[in-house]
Amino acid sequence: MVLGADTEVVLAGRLLGKPTDPADAVRILRELRGREHEVITGLAVVELGPPTSAPRQETAAVTSRVRMAEYSDADIEGYVATGEPLDKAGGYAVQGLGGRLVAAVEGCLTNVIGLPLTTTRVLLERHGF
Q: Is 6 part of the annotated catalytic residue set?
A: yes
Q: Between the CA of residue 57 and those of 7, 30, 41, 47, what are the distances in Å? A: 19, 39, 17, 6
First-last CA distance in the chain: 9
Q: Are 16 and 31 spatial neighbours (Cβ–Cβ below 8 Å)?
A: yes
43: closest CA among 64, 17, 61, 63? 61
User: Which residues neighbour 128 within 8 Å (Cβ) at sequence distance 6 or greater?
Assistant: none
- Catalytic residue, chosen from 6, 21, 73, 87, is 6
Q: What count of residues does the chain have?
A: 129
User: Active-site positions?
Assistant: 6
